[in-house]
């Protein structure tokens, strides 16, 4: 692992128990779902692979993400593959304990706890060129 940006992703590696709280347009809490998020290094240590196994509205939703170094030298690029077979591209950054993911239709802003065992944040969605709350998430690292 030659690039220190790859080593910086080490706090993500592991299995997380995730609580997802859907938000309405005003940011009020709605339905709560759970997921297991698993982050691991690829066989060549050049990517982080992220698998999601979620229960949302009684349905199982499986998705995955690949996180890679941004060739521009700044942060990361990610591609998320959704349960319906579609995908979305994002840029991401990790500055201190702050993890941000930004795409054209969705974005995430979250923070790791001081001990690195919890990641909390909020997803927003872009509707009509205006950002609106989507969900609040809390990931707790499993032993």
Q: Please give the Cα distance from 63 to 82 (Å, whole number).
A: 5
Provide the 8-state DSSP code for 103.
-
Which residue, 30, 28, 10, is CA-closest to 20?
Answer: 30
Residue entry with tokens 């609040």: 136
Provide the 8-state DSSP code for 12.
G
Q: Please give the Cα distance from 105 to 88 (Å, whole number).
A: 8
CA distances from 13 to 20, 30, 48, 95, 97 (A): 20, 29, 8, 17, 14
Residue range 54-78, pLDDT digits in tens: 998 889 999 999 999 999 888 999 9
Quote the pLDDT of residue 58.
Answer: 85
Q: In which element (H, E) is residue 118 found?
A: strand 118-127
Superfamily covering domain 4-141: Calycin beta-barrel core domain (2.40.128.20)
Q: Is the pTM of this model over 0.75?
A: yes
For 1-143, where are the alpha helices, taking DSSP H only? Answer: 4-7
Which residue, 123, 74, 121, 120, is CA-closest to 103?
Answer: 123
pLDDT reading at 1 higher than 80? no
CA 61, 41, 19, 23 dihedral sign is negative
Residue range 109-138, pLDDT digits in tens: 999 999 999 999 999 999 999 999 999 999
Quote the pLDDT of residue 2.
Answer: 60
- The model's confidence at residue 4, banded by pLDDT at 50, 70 and 90, is confident
* For the chain, domain boundaries: 4-141
Give the residue-averaged pLDDT of 4-9. Answer: 89
């Amino acid at each position: 692992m030659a690039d220190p940006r790859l080593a910086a992703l080490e706090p993500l590696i592991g299995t997380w128990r995730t609580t997802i709280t859907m938000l309405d347009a005003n940011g009020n809490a709605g339905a709560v779902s759970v997921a297991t998020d698993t982050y691991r290094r690829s066989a060549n240590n050049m990517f982080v692979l992220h698998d999601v196994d979620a229960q949302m509205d009684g349905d199982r939703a499986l998705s995955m993400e690949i996180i890679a170094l941004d060739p521009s030298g700044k942060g990361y690029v990610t591609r998320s593959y959704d349960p319906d077979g579609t995908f979305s591209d994002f840029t991401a950054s990790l500055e201190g304990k702050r993890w941000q993911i930004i795409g054209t239709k969705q974005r995430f802003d979250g923070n790791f706890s001081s001990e690195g065992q919890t990641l909390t944040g909020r997803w927003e969605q872009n509707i009509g060129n205006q950002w609106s709350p989507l969900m609040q998430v809390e990931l707790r690292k499993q032993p």
